[in-house]
Structure 1
Amino acid sequence: MDGYRVSPAKAPPEGRVALIAAHPVDASAAQLMAAIDAGREFCIHTGRSPDAGPDGGAFVQCETSGSSGQPKRIRRSHASWIRSFELDRGLWNTAQGDHVAVFGPLSHSLALYGAVCAMHIGADLSVIAAPRPDVRLRQMDAAAPTRLFTTPTQLRQLATALDGVTPISALRHVLVGGGFLDGAARESAQALFPNAAIHGFYGASETSFITFSDAGTPPLSVGRPYPGVTLRIRDGNGNDLPSDEVGEIWVRSPFLFEGYALGNSKETRWQDGFLTVGELGWRDAEGFLYHAGRRNRMFTVSDRNVFPEAMERILLDQPGVAHAAVLPVPDPRRGSVPVCFLSGPSSLLDPGAILRACRQRLGAEIAPRRATLLEDWPTLPSGKTDLAALERLLQGAS
């Protein structure tokens, strides 16, 4: 079933870790509830053999998005999420009468977080896994949730079905993670959910929430630190940097993960109780964080560091652009040059005008050189752009 309220079911298979298949979604959600009721460590997986990890304690295993590489499975304590669930009660005034909706499957951390949060506070839970955005909206309208966990990509997909769909008035809070909440996605969310406060979250599967934003946050910022989070911007030698200087984002909080149960990342490092996953950014004098991008996506054009995420935000601000991704191609004179993939209604997209707007904002030297329009945008189960699929398209075109 693609959209439903979750009820407990028989317990997942015996063993120290409850291994729960992500599909079918209805069975996955019901077994998750049974595992939580039994106080068991659980892992929702997509077919790869989970690693139970060390003995002792109550833990969660979930997958990273894998947007720029192979997904990893992270392991975190129940307590790390419970602390933020309790903070959420005050931030969003949540209570047992609430009804939480997430977009399945539950193998990725944002959907899983929302589902477990609902179970923890005693709220109703709807897991909506229909692939078509118009069907998702109809199922949400029928469920009448008060709180939604979603991603910017999922919001942009829902916006394509806005015509002829009645706005969902029951929603009070829309919590957006898994990517930058750009202005167009925020406007789409407000049109779809007119009575809801829209909040963007910046974080990673390894860190959980780092910052959150609201309507008063500067347009390009990802917000101020989430309660309980301490931020540092550091240079390559581990020294703290002053305001407005780009460096590596380091986080200390009670919400950090325990380690990887499957896979690893050389970008993930610890120092004096702080964790980094290799993301770069800066803070302004008022404490707002600006996310430049991931170190492993950065490339150089004529000896200048270029962050594709920053370019993608500019592209998403252009008329008609529903999805955007920037990738480098080798160039004998400049080292590399950026190109972009775009998706959106063909009647609204003007690639020439979009590229000109980028040149005005970024300068001709580092702006994308060409745009490729895609009718079907490749996404991962988490809702994020499948960058590996776009890389293959790029290589096939070269």
Structure 2
Amino acid sequence: MNLVSKLGETAKLKPDRTAYIFGDQTETYGGLQEKIDRFAGGLYEIGVKKGDHIALLLGNTPHFLISFFGALKAGAVIIPINPTYTPTEIGYLLTNGDVKVVVADGKLLPLYEKMHEMLPKIEQVILCETSEPLQDSENLQVNNKLKSFANLMKSSVQVFSEPNQDDIAAILYTSGTTGKPKGAMLTHQNLFSNANDVAQYLTMDEDDLVVAALPMFHVFCLTVCMNAPLMNGAAVLIMPKFSPSAVFKLVKKHKATIFAGVPTMYNYLYQHEGASEDGFASVRICISGGAAMPVALLNNFEKKFNVLVLEGYGLSEASPVACFNPFHTGRKPGSIGTNILNVKNKVVNEFGEELPPNQVGELIVKGPNVMKGYYKMPEETAHTIKDGWLYTGDLARQDEDGYFYIVDRKKDMILVGGYNVYPREVEEVLYKHPDVAEAVVIGVPDPNKGEVVQCYVVPKSKTLTEEEIVSHCERHLAKYKRPSTIIFLDEIPKNSTGKILRRALKDILTKQS
């Protein structure tokens, strides 16, 4: 079984069930399947063969969903790319990923016109009319490489390339926070198994409506908000972009049942003026991932909206989900939960030996969701996957009940005078201050201690002072863990998925010095 065949089964059994909602559009599973078939046929007609690489430079629209499943049905390998990336970033991914065909938002045509001479391997660019989704555009100026999405959808050719389980389905590039992005090769088994296991774990069914407010090009949304619901007959509420007011409005209007987001999104929802329990009354479960959620924020959010927030853990290389807090047998705030179905996690030392409970080591993952490897990077693959285990680079501990806790990224740990300081521990303390909206901690060089703790704070109140922060930390942290300096910011720099850019914070520090 794979994503395409499973979706096809649902379309045959329940053709009139709602598959997605986008603005004023509501599409059934039968209608979605017809669009997927037409897109796959259109790809075949322009020469796409099994194994060809197709990049999706699309935001959250039905075009993404149709292109994703249509390309898989045609036997292609999908490379989702953030459409807001710079030309340099996009050019690198298209070149490194050996992309043959690009499906892009029509607004990116001027960008392609500037870049096309740098991308000789691109054979076709399919432009989507995102202002009027799925409608023909007679005025689109095309040359031998440019095609209209609407025209491509006129195909009546029937095509289905049955994949093997270990065939590559997608290449997902990591965010590149520690260097050039690496392309995680995910197989059909990887994507299907994780989507199916997540859906079962969260008991998704045809009565659920899942909010896709995260970027669909990101693996979190791809699996949890798109693939998982569509594998189980649920519907997807596609939001073009995240905004707190839009979330509350659409959740209430359509009676959405599942919301997924990163901690930053939950913070914005919690802080939103006029937010009330009524805005999330239909939501039965909230899912948080992408980064550790401060316990204070989790507790405050649950209390304000009377909804359960379950933290999970994943990474692109694991398709992505490896852990989730169970809601049938209890959860633990601050924990990423326990093993999901068919996936094993453990905490090991530098020799790969499993550590006893509550000792900090590296979290490693094993299961049908673990990637095949990094595209064209055999050395990186060998360093990351050992004996079938994926070494995540995250520091974690496991308690006596089998619940895992992320301590921090190995690379983010701060060494102060020989003592380990984990940024998350300090950030948890900062979030407990009633006037702190956001807080981030990094390590900065120090001639005497090697490193010291530097903290960045977005205050709720303009009256918050550095002295108050210092006093607060003195009450809760050992001396070596306390921030040496405190910098107030209007906003913490983040990437398009809401993940904090620690490197950008270091750049701010460099400029200020």
State the partner residue of 1:310.
Answer: 425
Q: Point out where structure 2 has 5 or more consecutive residues left out of the alignment.
A: 1-20, 83-89, 100-162
Pick aligned residue for 1:222 from 336, 357, 374 = 336
User: Which of 167-176 and 334-343 deviates more?
Assistant: 167-176
Alignment of 1:11 onto 2:39: yes
| Aligned equivalent of 1:183 | 295
Displacement after TM superposition at 1:385 (Å)? 0.9
Amino acid at match of 2:189: A
Distance 1:214 1:80 in 2: 22
- Cα deviation, residue 34, structure 1: 3.1
After superposition, the C-alpha distances for 1:182-226 in whole angstroms (9 at most, x for unaligned) are: 2233235425653x4321102222122222225744444322222
Q: Is the 8 A contact 1:249 1:278 kept in 2?
A: yes
1:275 and 2:390 correspond: yes
Displacement of 1:350 after TM fit? 4.9
* Structure label with greater radius of gyration: 2
Residue 81 of structure 1: aligned partner: 191
Determine the C-alpha separation between the residues in 1 that align with 2:331 and 2:237: 30
1:335/1:319 CA distance change after superposition, 3 Å: same
Deviation sequence 1:111-167 (CA, Å, 0-9, x none): 111212222223221222335322333233333321122111111112221525542
Specify the alignment match of 1:290 in structure 2: 405
Is this contact kept in 2: 1:25–1:129, CA < 8 A?
Answer: yes
Are the counterparts in 2 of residues 41 and 58 from structure 1 also a CA contact under 8 Å? yes
Q: How does 1:280-359 map to 2 (within 5 A)?
A: 280-347=395-462, 349-359=464-474
1:142 alignment partner AA: K
Rate the CA distance shift 1:348–1:177 in 2: closer, same or farther, 3 A.
farther
Aligned partners of 1:228, 1:21: CA distance in 2, in Å? 32
Cross-structure match for 2:252: 141
User: Structure 1 pair 312/129, CA: closer, same or farther in 2 (3 Å)?
Assistant: farther
- CA shift, 1:381, in A, is 0.9
The match for 2:79 is 43
Distance in 2 (alpha carbons) for counterparts of 1:117 and 1:6: 19
The match for 1:96 is 206
- Equivalent AA in structure 1 for residue 423 of structure 2: P
Distance in 1 between residues matched to 2:296 and 2:66, nearest whole Å: 35
Question: Take 1:268 and 1:6, find their aligned partners in 2: how far apart are those partners?
Answer: 46
User: Which of 348, 356, 360 matches 2:475?
Assistant: 360
**Pairwise CA RMSD:** 3.0
Contact in 1 for aligned 2:249/2:279 (Cα 8 Å): no
Alignment check: 8 A CA contact 1:68 1:386 kept? no
Q: Match of 2:493?
A: 378
Contact 2:197 2:340 in 1 (8 A): no
CA distance in 2, matches of 1:177, 1:22: 22
Extract unaligned runs of 5+ from structure 1: none
Distance 1:68 1:344, change over 3 A: farther
Which deviations, in whole Å up to 9, do the C-alpha atoms of 1:262-321 show, x marking residues without a partner?
779689522222111211122222222222211111231111122223322222233233
Aligned to 1:203: 314
Shift of 1:24: 6.7
Deviations 1:59-110 (A, max 9, x none): 1233434455554432212222322333334332221232111224222110
What is the alpha-carbon distance in structure 2 between the residues aligned to residue 123 and residue 353 of structure 1? 48
The question of whether the paired residues in 1 share the 8 Å contact of 2:338 and 2:403 is answered with: yes
Helix, strand or coil at the partner of 1:200: strand
Higher RCO (CA 8 Å, separation ≥ 6 residues): 1
TM-score by length of 2: 0.69
After TM superposition, the score normalised by the length of structure 1 is 0.87
Q: Secondary structure at the match of 1:365?
A: helix
Aligned to 2:123: none
TM-aligned CA deviation for residue 256 of structure 1: 0.9
Describe the SS at the equivalent of 2:436.
Answer: coil
